[in-house]
C-alpha cells in the first residue's frame, strides 16, 4: 500500500512541484494580506496599524444596513447585475458561433478584429459618446426620433433607462472581446468531426448544435459560474460617470454608494465592511451555482 503510494508520488511529483509555484504566489500576495479583513470590525487608523486599531464589532455593518438607502442600493445593484448577466453570458457565445460559421477568411478575421476594438476605448470616452448619442438636446437618436415624428425620450435623465444604457453600452463594448475564449475553445475542435457530419448530410445548424456547442459547453459553464460569482460587482467608473441627479433612484449601486460614504471621507473600515458583505454574497452565489452545475451537468469548478 505504502509502496504504491510512494510509486504514485514518484511518478507524479512534478504535478505537485508545478502547483507549488502558483501556490507560493497566492500565499504571498493573497493569503498573507488577508488578515486585513479584520478592519471591517475595527475603526482602522493608520496611527495604530491594522492590528492595533480598536475593535468596534458590527458597528460599520449596522451603519450600512440601517442607512436610508440600503434597500434601494441593494435592489439597484442586483437589477443591473442580473440584467447584465442575462445578456452578457449568452451574447458572446452566439456571436462566437456566428463568427465561427463565416467561410470567407478575410471577412472573418476583419469582423473579429473590429469587434475587439471598443474594448480598448476608455470608459470616459464611451460615456462621452453615450451622452452625445442619447442626449435630448441635439442628441443623435432624439434628433432622429423627432425627424420621423416620434416623441423624444430622455434616455440619460430617466431612471427607467439607466439599466438599459449601462448594460447595452457594456455589451457594445465587450461582446467582441468576450468571444475570444469561445473562439479559442472552438479552434480546438477536430475538423474531422465536421467532415464526417457533412458526409452524413447534416445541416449547418445541426453541426452547431451537435458538435460545436457540446465541445465548448465546459467553457460556457465555467465562464457562467465565474460570472455569477461577480453578481454584486457593478463597475464603479462607468456607473459614476453615467450617474446624475435625475437617474439616481436606479443608478446608485453599492460601489458608488460606498465611494460616497466611505472613500471620500477616508473611512476604510466602512468600505471594508461593505466589501466583505459584498464578497460573502458573491461567494454564496458561486457555491450555489456550482452545486447546481454539478447536479445538472458534468462540469463544475471543483
Partner 1 sequence: MKKLWKSLALATSASALLFSLSACGSNGNKSSGDEKDGKSVTILTEDHSDVRPKSKDLWMWKEYEKMSGVKVDWTEVKDFGEKKNLLLSKKELPDAFYQTIWTNDEVVKYGTQGIFQPLEKLIPKYAPNLNKIMKKYPDVKKAMTTPDGHIYSLPYLSMDPMSGGRTFRLYINQKWLDKLGLEVPKTTEELKEVLTQFVTKDPNGNGKADEQGWYMNSGELPNSFEKIIDAAYGLDTAGRTAIDNMIYLDNDKLQLTVNSDKMKDVWKYENDLYSNKLIFKQAFAGVDSDKWVADASKDVVGLWSWVSPEMIGEAVRDNYTPINIIEGPNGDKGLVSQPPIMGTSAFMITKDAKDPKELLKWVDYFYSEEGSEFGFLGKEGVTYHVVDGKKVYVDKILNYDKGAQLGSYQYMNNVYAGFFPYLELPQKTKEEAWGEKPIEYTDFTDADVPKQLLPDFMSTPEESSEISTIMTDMRNYVEQARVKFVTGKWNFTTDWDNYVTQLNKIGADRLLKIRRTQYARYQKN
Partner 2 sequence: MAKQSAMRYTRTKGDKVFDVVNGVLITIFTLIVLYPLIFVINASFSDPTRIYEVPLLLWPRGFNWRGYTEILKDKDILIGFKNAVVYTALGTVINLVVTTLGAYPLSRKELKGKGFFTLFFTVTMFFSGGLIPTYLVNQQLGIINTIWVMILPGALGVYNMILMRTYFQQNIPNELVESAYIDGANDMQLLWKVVLPLSTPIIAVMAMFYGVGRWNDYFNAMIYLQDRSKFPLQLILREILIQGKFGDSANQTLQGSAQAELMMIKLTLKYSVVIISSLPVLLFYPVVAKYFEKGILVGAIKG
Which chain residues interact with partner 1 by CB under 8 A? 45-49, 63, 67-69, 127-128, 131-132, 134-137, 139, 154-157, 244-249, 252, 257, 260-261, 265-268
Q: What is the DSSP string of 209-276?
A: IIIIHHHHHHHHHHHHHHHHTTTT---HHHHHHH--TTTHHHH--HHHHHIIIIITTT-HHHHHHHHH
Return the residues of window 188-247 that contact partner 2 according to CB under 8 A. 188-195, 198-199, 203-205, 215, 218-219, 222-223, 226, 229, 240-241
Nearer to partner 2, 160 or 283 (CB): 283
- Taking the CA atoms of residue 257, residue 258, residue 264 and residue 265 in that order, the dihedral angle to the nearest 10 degrees is 120
228 near 45, Cβ under 8 Å? no
Taking CB within 5 to 8 Å according to partner kind, which of partner 1, partner 2, none is near residue 272? partner 2
CA distance 67 to 71: 8
Nearer to partner 1, 87 or 141 (CB): 141
Nearest to 239 by CA among 66, 79, 27: 79
144 near 58, Cβ under 8 Å? no
Site string for partner 2, 131-170 (x = CB under 8 A): -x-----x-x--x---------------------------
Considering only the stretches 13-21, 59-67, 71-79, 248-256, report the one whose residues sit in contact with partner 2 under the rule CB under 8 A: 13-21
Considering only the stretches 37-45, 59-67, 74-82, 154-162, report the one whose residues sit in contact with partner 2 under the rule CB under 8 A: 37-45
286 near 228, Cβ under 8 Å? yes
Taking CB within 5 to 8 Å according to partner kind, which of partner 2, partner 1, none is near residue 266? partner 1
Residue among 6, 7, 25, 244 that touches partner 2 (CB under 8 A):
25
251 near 239, Cβ under 8 Å? yes
Q: How far is the CB of 249 from partner 2 (least distance, A)?
A: 21
Amino acid at each position: 500500500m505504502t509502496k504504491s503510494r510512494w510509486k504514485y508520488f514518484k511518478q507524479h511529483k512534478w504535478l505537485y512541484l508545478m502547483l507549488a509555484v502558483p501556490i507560493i504566489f497566492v500565499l504571498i500576495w493573497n493569503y498573507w494580506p488577508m488578515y486585513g479583513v479584520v478592519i471591517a470590525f475595527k475603526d482602522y487608523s493608520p496611527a495604530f496599524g491594522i492590528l492595533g486599531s480598536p475593535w468596534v464589532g458590527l458597528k460599520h455593518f449596522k451603519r450600512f444596513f440601517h442607512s436610508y438607502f440600503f434597500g434601494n442600493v441593494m435592489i439597484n445593484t442586483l437589477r443591473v447585475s442580473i440584467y447584465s448577466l442575462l445578456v452578457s453570458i449568452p451574447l458572446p457565445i452566439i456571436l462566437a458561433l456566428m463568427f465561427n460559421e463565416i467561410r470567407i477568411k478575410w471577412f472573418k478575421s476583419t469582423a473579429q478584429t473590429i469587434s475587439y476594438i471598443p474594448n480598448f476605448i476608455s470608459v470616459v470616452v464611451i460615456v462621452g459618446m453615450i451622452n452625445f448619442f442619447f442626449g435630448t438636446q441635439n442628441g443623435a437618436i432624439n434628433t432622429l426620433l423627432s425627424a420621423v415624428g416620434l416623441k423624444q425620450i430622455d434616455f440619460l435623465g430617466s431612471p427607467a433607462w439607466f439599466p438599459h444604457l449601462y448594460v447595452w453600452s457594456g455589451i457594445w463594448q465587450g461582446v467582441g472581446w468576450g468571444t475570444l475564449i469561445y473562439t479559442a475553445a472552438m479552434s480546438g475542435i477536430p475538423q474531422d468531426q465536421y467532415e464526417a457530419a457533412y458526409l452524413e448530410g447534416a445541416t449547418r445548424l445541426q453541426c452547431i448544435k451537435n458538435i460545436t456547442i457540446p465541445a465548448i459547453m465546459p467553457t460556457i459553464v465555467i465562464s457562467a459560474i465565474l460570472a455569477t460569482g461577480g453578481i454584486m460587482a457593478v463597475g464603479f467608473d462607468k456607473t459614476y460617470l453615467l450617474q446624475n441627479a435625475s437617474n439616481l433612484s436606479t443608478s446608485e449601486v453599492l460601489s458608488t454608494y460606498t465611494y460616497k460614504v466611505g472613500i471620500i471621507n477616508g473611512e476604510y473600515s466602512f468600505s471594508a465592511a461593505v466589501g466583505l458583505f459584498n464578497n460573502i454574497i458573491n461567494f454564496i452565489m458561486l457555491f450555489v451555482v456550482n452545486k447546481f452545475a454539478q447536479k445538472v451537468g458534468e462540469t463544475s469548478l471543483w
